[in-house]
Amino acid sequence: MTPEIRLTEAPAHLRHSSNIGQPFTRRDGILKVTGKAPYAADHHPPRMLFAVLAVSTVARGRVTFLDIDAAKSHPGVVDVMTPAHKPPLAEDPDAKTNPFMFRMELLQNDSVRYANQPIAVVIAETLEAATEGAALLAPKYETLTPRIGLDAGESFIPPSVGVGHPAVVEQGDVEAGLAAAARTIEAIYETPAQYHNPMEPHAITATWDRDKLSIDTPSQGLAMAQSRIAGLFGIAPENVHIRSPFLGGGFGCKGFISGPQILGIMAARLVNRPVKLVLRREQMYGPVGYRSPTRQRLRIGADAAGLLTALEHSAKTVSSTFDDFFEPAADASHTLYASPVIRTAQEAVRVDSGTPLFMRAPGEATGSIALESAIDEMAWAFRMDPLEFRIMNDAEVEPISGKPFSSKALHDCYVRGAERFGWERRPLSPRQMHDDAGFLIGWGMGTATFPALMFQGNARAVVRADGRGVVEIGAHDMGQGAWTALAQIAADGLGLDIDSVEFRSGASDLPDAGIAGGSAHTATAGLAIHNAGAAVIAKLADLATRDERSSLFGAGNAGVIARDGRLFRRDDETRSESYADILARAGLAEVEASGTSAVDPAAQAEYAMHAHGAVFAEVKVDPDLGQIRVTRMVGAFAAGRIINPKLVRSQLFGGMIWGVSFALHEEAVVDRRSGRVMNANLAEYHVPVNADVPSMDILTIEEHDPHVNALGIKGVGEIGITGSAGAVANAVWHATGVRVRRFPIRIDDLVTPR
Ligand code: MOS
């Protein structure tokens, strides 16, 4: 099948190609599995030194002593960077001139704001010498009692949450809605702190050449990183060259350049030699963000028929003492369920931790597990099947905005997912199913949703005299497959075979592709590429249709079709000309054009834009030991146009696995006395390993959304985690009859119910 991509501008030239929609294997796969894909820490410029962070072991107070002499006299140590000995910065790292400018600890003073905060940097000829030097610093502190946890202090209503949403949203009178209900439930759910644990920790190799800086470092947002670095060091952004072709995972913690990365650049400045700085795993638990814990209260009312009369979702979260990031957990209740009364409210307390940050499906992940658990509890209050209850209360227009959805194939997700799972055989009551070995079996479900976002991006496209194409964009591949999916869009955009297009990406001197976040990267970068390709084809068409010597002469009004490196008259496809011939006759070496992507404000004003899905899970629980195994999951997702089904499946698998992790595994445990994360490692911070991952089945439901963007792309990076965590939790209840509301669900919750 050859999908047709229509240009948005007149004359309506068409481009045909067959790259979009193909399940291409990721183009960088061989490089990665053979170890030839260079990650930031793989770089060793000549004369490079190693920098190692010394980090605070206390969470609040100040550093009173560092044994700098001991560190400096260790063989191989070149220098020790401290608040008293560091290169100057052009900007205050505590300044915050926009909400996404997060404050950093760049040795500006001796204060300690959280455990694992960088307090010095040791620079040495070898990694071993730098590590030993850092240990020899043996810091002393003046310590204050840290404020830890959701009850650490006075709570307050943040000025905004997430990316700037209001903290409190109220539609109708909750008390009246609850009073009008035939049944109500009230329940409190708690989610723990979670830490980003990409396989690749933050790492940087930095080289200065006078006022020019060249760095290798993972980034989900190259242009923002470039301008932040330029500001801090007082140099022009174009003097900052960042290479970030591959990221070993991001999950949001590489969206903004972090303090430790800047410290690596400062270290290189200080010693005037290239420097490499790589965080150790435990150093990831502090200075580079995390998902904050939440306590969420759901109050839901429904009339005698089971139709919602009120939905209230209140969430409490934490932020740091020195900066603002507020996990927007309650916002999850804005979109899915039709209730005439909705109230969401968020409050926060300040704790002595690093600043929380965006972490895969921020707000949606935390909020969804509470909302989907509560909806399940409500269905049970009516003794109704939870799928039927959801379908009955499904919103036809987005309840909080009153806008119709730009498209919504959720019902298909429910029906097809349930059918694939075999949901109709589910007994209504818990503790009804067991296997031959006596394990309790439970089936649960959750609804998935995530906003379909798009940011502003830019791309450049070229067709060269040999008829081949080049597409350039500073996009980010953090493992999701951007190198591949965007190359597919690039090839279709130029009417070329994918192997005839050179796709250049992953560096800051390429056009700004925005940020790889918010599940918006394929749409953002993809539309910019698509539009750049359209502009190049329009130029080629102009060259041909205005030239009497071309067989396309005069076809300007009819338009052309671009396919396989040729332009065809739309009204007479027997007349065509190759790109190479058009350029040769015009005496041009290449045709080049730029394209941008940006949301359409008119469409945004008119429609609510989301991807949707339904996730079904089966668990088996040992009735004596309480051990839980997820044995089977089915996820059905409608997420607009699928650029590459193989990569999309991987993304959805990853999200669903994180859902399992959220429900059953992940938790950062903080020592209340010291304020330190006690399991700051990958042995005790549990994430699912292969043995924990069930058989997973993914259905992508075809969906054509004409409003979301010209390619109909919605994004799949985060939706998989929403719905999945709730599905597992609800399956545990169905297996055992025990409703656990504090996550992750533990063995002891089932053996000795709270
Ligand atoms: Mo993601 S948390 O939007 O990088």
Of 555 and 382, which is predicted with more confidence? 382
Q: Could you tell me the CA-to-CA distances from 469 to 422, 487, 510, 587 in Å, in that order?
A: 48, 11, 16, 17
Q: Is the pLDDT of residue 176 over 70?
A: yes
DSSP assigned state of 707: T
- Give me the sign of the Cα torsion angle 725, 729, 731, 732: positive
The mean per-residue pLDDT over the stretch 364-374 comes to 98
> For residue 62, what is the enclosing H or E element?
strand 61-65
Q: Say how many Å lie between the first and final Cα of the chain, rounded.
A: 56
Do the Cβ atoms of 647 and 621 come closer than 8 Å? no
Ligand 1 neighbour 620 (Cβ under 6 A): no
| Catalytic annotation, pick one of 327, 618, 666, 718 | 718
Q: Tens digits of per-residue pLDDT, 239-261?
A: 999 999 999 999 999 999 999 99
Ligand 1 neighbour 651 (Cβ under 6 A): no
565's tokens: 């490196």
How many angstroms is it from 435 CA to the middle of ligand 1?
Answer: 39
Q: Tens digits of per-residue pLDDT, 314-342?
A: 999 999 999 999 999 999 999 999 999 99
The mean per-residue pLDDT over the stretch 559-564 comes to 93
Pocket test for ligand 1, best of 360, 521, 721 (most atoms within 8 A of CB): 360
454 by Cβ neighbours in 10 Å (0-12 / 13-18 / 19+) ranks as: buried
Helices marked H in 145-221 — which ranges? 174-179
- CA nearest ligand 1 atom 4, residue: 252
Q: Tens digits of per-residue pLDDT, 224-234?
A: 999 999 999 99
Ligand 1 neighbour 517 (Cβ under 6 A): yes
3-state DSSP assignment of residue 636: strand
Atom from ligand 1 closest to the CA of residue 519:
3
Rounded Cα distance between 593 and 428, Å, is 60
CA quadruple 20, 22, 24, 26: dihedral, nearest 10: 40
How many angstroms is it from 357 CA to the middle of ligand 1?
Answer: 9
Residue 723 identity: G
Helices marked H in 305-438 — which ranges? 364-381, 386-392, 410-421
How many angstroms is it from 385 CA to the middle of ligand 1?
Answer: 34
* Partners of 286 in beta bridges: none
Those residues with Cβ within 8 angstroms of residue 508's Cβ, 6 or more apart along the chain or in another chain: 222, 223, 225, 226, 240, 241, 242, 243, 244, 474
- β-strands 457-464, 590-597 pairing: antiparallel
- β-strands 118-124, 77-81 pairing: antiparallel
Ligand 1 neighbour 469 (Cβ under 6 A): no
- β-strands 61-65, 140-143 pairing: antiparallel
Residue whose structure tokens are 């194409």: 469
Confidence of residue 555 (pLDDT cuts 50, 70, 90): confident
How many angstroms is it from 479 CA to the middle of ligand 1?
Answer: 13
- β-strands 49-55, 275-278 pairing: parallel
Confidence of residue 558 (pLDDT cuts 50, 70, 90): confident
59's tokens: 């969470």
620 by Cβ neighbours in 10 Å (0-12 / 13-18 / 19+) ranks as: buried
SS in 3 state form for 593-605?
Answer: EEEEECCCHHHHH
Residue whose structure tokens are 């300044």: 95
Do the Cβ atoms of 446 and 725 come closer than 8 Å? yes
The mean per-residue pLDDT over the stretch 370-393 comes to 98
Report pLDDT for 15: 67
Pocket test for ligand 1, best of 195, 202, 247, 358 (most atoms within 8 A of CB): 358
Ligand 1 neighbour 518 (Cβ under 6 A): yes
Residue 640 identity: G
Rounded Cα distance between 596 and 594, Å, is 7
- φ/ψ (deg, to 5) at 270: -60, -45
The mean per-residue pLDDT over the stretch 220-226 comes to 98
Q: Is the pLDDT of residue 274 over 90?
A: yes
3-state DSSP assignment of residue 450: strand
- Give me the sign of the Cα torsion angle 658, 660, 663, 667: negative
Report pLDDT for 629: 96
> Does 744 sit behind a cis peptide bond, omega within 30 degrees of 0 on the bond before it?
yes
462's tokens: 């070229």
Of 447 and 100, which is predicted with more confidence? 447
Rounded Cα distance between 289 and 258, Å, is 9
Largest distance between two CA atoms of the chain? 86
Q: Is the pLDDT of residue 12 over 80?
A: no
142's tokens: 């003046």
Rounded Cα distance between 675 and 148, Å, is 6
How many angstroms is it from 95 CA to the middle of ligand 1?
Answer: 23
Pocket test for ligand 1, best of 658, 718, 719 (most atoms within 8 A of CB): 718
Rounded Cα distance between 461 and 325, Å, is 37
Do the Cβ atoms of 685 and 195 come closer than 8 Å? yes
DSSP assigned state of 721: G
Atom from ligand 1 closest to the CA of residue 517:
3
Rounded Cα distance between 52 and 126, Å, is 10
Atom from ligand 1 closest to the CA of residue 220:
4
Do the Cβ atoms of 159 and 152 come closer than 8 Å? no
> Percent of the chain having pLDDT more than 90?
95
Q: Is the pLDDT of residue 10 over 80?
A: no
Q: Tens digits of per-residue pLDDT, 54-64?
A: 999 999 999 99
Rounded Cα distance between 569 and 553, Å, is 9
Atom from ligand 1 closest to the CA of residue 516:
4
Q: Tens digits of per-residue pLDDT, 35-49?
A: 999 999 999 999 999
The mean per-residue pLDDT over the stretch 101-113 comes to 97
How many angstroms is it from 603 CA to the middle of ligand 1?
Answer: 24
Atom from ligand 1 closest to the CA of residue 254:
4
Q: Is the pLDDT of residue 307 over 90?
A: yes
How many angstroms is it from 161 CA to the middle of ligand 1?
Answer: 15
Report pLDDT for 8: 31
Q: Is the pLDDT of residue 7 over 60?
A: no
How many angstroms is it from 103 CA to the middle of ligand 1?
Answer: 18
How many angstroms is it from 517 CA to the middle of ligand 1?
Answer: 4
Rounded Cα distance between 67 and 11, Å, is 72
CA R_g for the chain: 27
3-state DSSP assignment of residue 714: coil
Q: Is the pLDDT of residue 279 over 80?
A: yes
Ligand 1 neighbour 194 (Cβ under 6 A): no
Rounded Cα distance between 652 and 300, Å, is 30
Those residues with Cβ within 8 angstroms of residue 386's Cβ, 6 or more apart along the chain or in another chain: 375, 376, 379, 380, 444, 445, 730
Mean pLDDT of the chain: 95
Atom from ligand 1 closest to the CA of residue 358:
2
Helices marked H in 204-340 — which ranges? 222-233, 259-271
Q: Tens digits of per-residue pLDDT, 113-168?
A: 999 999 999 999 999 999 999 999 999 999 999 999 999 999 999 999 999 999 99
718 is catalytic: yes
Ligand 1 neighbour 358 (Cβ under 6 A): yes
Concatenated DSSP letters of 324-350: -----GGGGGGTSB--S-EEEEEEEEE
Q: Could you tell me the CA-to-CA distances from 233 to 13, 207, 395 in Å, in that order?
A: 47, 13, 50
622's tokens: 């040992």
328's tokens: 């927007």
Q: Is the pLDDT of residue 575 over 90?
A: yes
Ligand 1 neighbour 359 (Cβ under 6 A): yes
Do the Cβ atoms of 112 and 68 come closer than 8 Å? no
Ligand 1 neighbour 254 (Cβ under 6 A): no
Q: Tens digits of per-residue pLDDT, 610-669?
A: 999 999 999 999 999 999 999 999 999 999 999 999 999 999 999 999 999 999 999 999
Rounded Cα distance between 179 and 174, Å, is 8
Of 1 and 402, which is predicted with more confidence? 402
Q: Is the pLDDT of residue 188 over 80?
A: yes
